[in-house]
C-alpha cells in the first residue's frame, strides 16, 4: 500500500523540527480527502453537488509592475440550489480554500451543505492559488513550482486578496451587492477565514474559523504543545498504551542497529521490499499517531485514510491486546494498521512512495516562508523522544530547498497574535473560533471568548474541525450542541445585518 506524499513530506521535514535523529515531524495540516464514491449519502441527490467555474485572477495584488498583471484561472465551486436569491438579499456562504484541491474540502464540509437550506444560502468554495487546478503561469505546475521567483506569489496575503476579488466580482455579476457574506474554513482554511474577517470586514460580516491555530507562531504557543496533546490523547485511553509507545523508539533503534535488524523490522511491520530505514519507519509510525490524534472523531471517517470511530481508542486497544504478548513491534503494527489499513486491503506499506495525488506539495514552500509554526518540542513525558524545537534546522533545509530564509515574524506582523484579547477587543468582531481539545492544533487556537461577538467554542472531546463534517445519526450530543451554537450565532450576525441594512435604507 502506498503511504503517499504526506508521509514522505513528514519524513523530509524531520530535520526542521528537532535536534535528534528520531522523527520529530512538523505536522502539515491534513486535507479533507475523500473519494467521490465515498461521499456522504446526504449529497447523493439528483442535483449535481456543485458547479465548477473559473475566475481570471491577477498574479500579484500588491505591486504594479508589468509582471503583476499576469493572470491565471482560479477555480471555484458554486451551489445555488438552496439560495433565496439576490432579490431577497439571501446570504452567501464562502469557504476559504486550504492547501489542496478544493473539491476534497468541499466534499467534506457537510456543515455548509446541511445548513444552507435553513439560511437559503448560496454556497461558494474558492480554491487556494497554487493548489488543485488554480495554478498560475499558464496552469503549468512544473513552471509554477520551479523556483523561488515563481513560488514567491504563493502566500496567505495573496490568497486572501484572491478571495476578496472573487467574492466582489461574483456579487456584482449576480446583482447581489447587498447579500451578506459569511466565510467558513477549517485548519489553515480556518486561519484564512479569521484573517479574512479581520482584513476584509467590508466584504464579510463574519467568520467561522474551525481548528485554526492562529496563535501557533513565535513564542505565543509553546513548541511542546502539539506533542503534549498527542501524548495526552493516547495516555487518556490507557497507561499501558502510553508506556508502550514511549518506550518503542529505543527498541526500534536497537533492532535496526543489529545484524539483520532492518529485515526483521520489515517483516514485523509488513514494509514493502523496496526500501526501509529506521528513520523512515519511525516517521511512518509518528505520522499515524499524529493524524489519528487529529482525526479522533466519534464516528466513522474517511479523512486522509478511512478510520473507525474513536481511532485513538482503537489504536490503544490494539496495543493492549494480550494476544501480542510482549512483542512491542506486533503491538505497534496493530496500532499502525488502524490508521494505514483499516480497510484491510494493504499487503505491504511502501515507505519510499513519493506520489502526491492530492496536490499538497505547495505547503513545503509555505512552511519555508511564512507558516513557521513551532511544533517539534518533546518533554520528558512525551510519547516521542525528548527534543527541542530547532529553528536553525528549518533555516538550513529551506536554504537548501529554495535558497530562502523563513520569515517567522511575518504572520504576527501582518495579522497579529500577541496579546490577542486586548487587540481584537478593540476592533474585531463576529468570529467563531471552534477548537476540540483532543486536536493537537488546539494548543495554538483561541480558547476563550475575546468579546461578545468574538466567541470561542471549545469541545473537550472534539478533534480537528469535527464541527464542519457531515452529521450522522451517531453524533454525540456535545457535537450537536456545538453546531447549534454556531448556527445561532451566524443567524444573529445575519439578522443584525438585515436590521442595519433596513435602517440605512429608511
Q: 307 φ, ψ to 5°?
A: -140, 150
Q: Which one, of 332, 312, 385, lies nearest residue 24 by Cα?
A: 385
Q: For residue range 288-298, what is the model confidence (pLDDT) as tens digits?
A: 999 999 999 99
Q: Which DSSP string do the residues of 423-443 spell out, in sequence order?
A: HHHHH---EEEEEETTSGGGG
505 an active-site residue?
Answer: no
Catalytic residue of the set 128, 358, 464, 465: 464
The predicted structure's pLDDT at residue 48: 74
Please state, in angstroms and as integers, the Cα–Cα distance from residue 255 to each residue in 188, 274, 481, following that order. 38, 19, 49
Query: Looking at residues 114-139, what average pLDDT do you find?
Result: 98
In angstroms, the CA 272 to CA 445 distance is: 39
Q: Which residues of 224-242 are buried (b: 16+ CB within 10 A; e: fewer)?
A: bbbbbbbbbbbbebbeebb
Instruction: Calculate the average pLDDT of the chain.
Output: 90
Q: 402 φ, ψ to 5°?
A: -125, -5
In angstroms, the CA 489 to CA 182 distance is: 11
Q: For residue range 223-261, what is the model confidence (pLDDT) as tens digits?
A: 999 999 999 999 999 999 999 999 999 999 999 999 999
The predicted structure's pLDDT at residue 349: 95
The predicted structure's pLDDT at residue 357: 67
Q: For residue range 48-73, what is the model confidence (pLDDT) as tens digits?
A: 789 999 999 999 999 999 999 999 99
464 an active-site residue?
Answer: yes
In angstroms, the CA 493 to CA 499 distance is: 10
The predicted structure's pLDDT at residue 399: 97
Query: Looking at residues 135-152, what average pLDDT do you find?
Result: 97
In angstroms, the CA 332 to CA 318 distance is: 8
Backbone φ/ψ region at 307: left (φ over 0), alpha (ψ -120 to 50), beta = beta
Catalytic residue of the set 101, 296, 353, 439: 439
Whether 111 contacts 93, CB under 8 Å: no
The predicted structure's pLDDT at residue 22: 32
Q: Is residue 12 classed as helix, strand or coil in its secondary structure?
A: helix
Q: Which one, of 114, 87, 134, lies nearest residue 184 by Cα?
A: 114
For residue 281, the 8-state DSSP code is: H
Query: Looking at residues 163-187, what average pLDDT do you find?
Result: 98
439 an active-site residue?
Answer: yes
Q: Give residue 415's Cα distance to chain centre.
A: 19
Residue 119, pLDDT above cutoff 90: yes
For residue 170, the 8-state DSSP code is: H
Q: Which DSSP string do the residues of 171-188 spell out, in sequence order?
A: HHHTT-TTS-EEEEEETH
Mean pLDDT lowest among 2-11, 108-117, 321-330? 2-11
Q: For residue range 357-384, what is the model confidence (pLDDT) as tens digits?
A: 677 889 999 999 999 999 989 999 999 9
The predicted structure's pLDDT at residue 24: 36
Residue 7, pLDDT above cutoff 80: no
The predicted structure's pLDDT at residue 482: 98
In angstroms, the CA 74 to CA 428 distance is: 29
Q: Which residue has the higher pLDDT, 107 or 122?
A: 122
In angstroms, the CA 241 to CA 256 distance is: 22
Catalytic residue of the set 17, 18, 187, 210: 187
Amino acid at each position: 500500500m502506498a503511504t503517499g506524499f504526506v508521509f514522505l513530506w513528514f519524513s523530509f521535514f524531520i530535520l526542521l523540527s528537532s535536534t535528534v535523529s528520531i522523527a520529530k515531524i512538523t505536522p502539515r495540516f491534513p486535507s479533507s480527502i475523500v473519494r467521490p464514491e465515498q461521499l456522504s449519502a446526504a449529497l447523493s441527490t439528483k442535483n449535481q453537488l456543485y458547479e465548477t467555474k473559473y475566475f481570471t485572477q491577477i498574479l500579484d495584488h500588491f505591486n504594479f509592475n508589468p509582471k503583476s498583471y499576469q493572470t491565471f484561472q482560479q477555480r471555484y465551486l458554486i451551489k445555488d440550489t438552496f439560495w433565496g436569491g439576490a432579490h431577497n438579499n439571501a446570504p452567501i456562504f464562502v469557504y476559504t480554500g486550504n492547501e489542496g484541491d478544493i473539491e476534497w474540502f468541499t466534499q467534506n464540509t457537510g456543515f455548509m451543505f446541511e445548513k444552507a437550506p435553513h439560511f437559503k444560502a448560496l454556497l461558494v468554495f474558492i480554491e487556494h492559488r497554487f493548489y488543485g487546478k488554480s495554478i498560475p503561469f499558464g496552469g503549468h505546475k512544473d513552471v509554477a513550482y520551479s523556483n523561488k521567483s515563481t513560488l514567491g506569489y504563493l502566500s496567505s496575503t495573496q490568497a486572501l486578496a484572491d478571495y476578496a476579488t472573487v467574492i466582489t466580482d461574483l456579487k456584482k455579476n449576480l446583482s447581489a451587492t447587498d447579500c451578506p457574506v459569511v466565510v467558513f474554513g477549517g485548519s489553515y482554511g480556518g486561519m484564512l477565514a479569521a484573517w479574512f474577517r479581520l482584513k476584509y470586514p467590508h466584504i464579510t460580516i463574519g467568520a467561522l474559523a474551525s481548528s485554526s491555530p492562529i496563535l501557533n507562531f513565535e513564542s505565543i504557543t509553546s513548541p511542546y504543545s502539539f506533542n503534549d496533546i498527542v501524548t495526552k490523547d493516547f495516555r487518556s485511553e490507557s497507561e499501558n498504551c502510553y508506556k508502550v509507545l514511549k518506550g518503542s523508539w529505543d527498541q526500534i533503534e536497537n533492532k535496526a542497529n543489529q545484524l539483520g535488524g532492518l529485515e526483521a523490522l520489515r517483516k514485523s511491520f509488513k514494509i514493502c521490499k523496496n526500501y526501509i530505514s529506521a528513520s523512515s519507519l519511525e516517521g511512518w509510525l509518528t505520522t499515524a499517531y499524529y493524524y489519528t490524534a487529529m482525526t479522533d472523531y466519534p464516528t466513522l471517517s474517511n479523512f486522509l485514510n478511512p478510520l473507525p470511530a474513536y481511532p485513538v481508542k482503537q489504536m490503544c486497544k490494539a496495543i493492549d491486546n494480550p494476544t501480542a504478548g510482549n512483542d512491542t513491534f506486533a503491538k505497534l503494527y496493530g496500532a499502525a494498521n488502524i490508521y494505514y489499513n483499516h480497510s484491510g486491503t494493504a499487503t505491504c506499506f511502501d515507505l519510499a512512495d513519493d506520489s502526491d495525488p492530492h496536490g499538497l506539495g505547495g505547503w513545503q514552500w509555505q512552511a519555508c516562508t511564512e507558516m513557521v509554526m513551532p511544533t517539534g518540542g518533546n518533554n520528558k513525558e512525551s510519547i516521542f523522544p525528548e527534543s527541542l524545537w530547532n529553528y536553525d534546522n528549518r533555516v538550513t533545509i529551506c536554504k537548501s530547498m529554495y535558497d530562502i530564509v523563513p520569515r517567522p515574524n511575518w504572520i504576527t506582523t501582518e495579522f497579529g497574535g500577541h496579546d490577542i484579547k486586548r487587540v481584537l477587543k478593540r476592533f474585531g468582531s463576529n468570529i467563531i473560533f471552534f477548537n476540540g481539545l483532543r486536536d493537537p492544533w488546539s494548543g495554538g487556537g483561541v480558547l476563550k471568548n475575546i468579546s461578545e461577538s468574538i466567541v470561542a467554542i471549545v469541545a473537550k472531546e472534539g478533534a480537528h474541525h469535527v464541527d464542519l463534517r457531515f452529521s450522522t445519526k451517531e453524533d454525540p450530543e456535545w457535537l450537536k450542541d456545538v453546531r447549534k451554537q454556531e448556527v445561532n450565532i451566524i443567524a444573529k450576525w445575519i439578522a443584525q445585518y438585515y436590521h442595519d441594512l433596513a435602517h440605512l435604507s429608511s
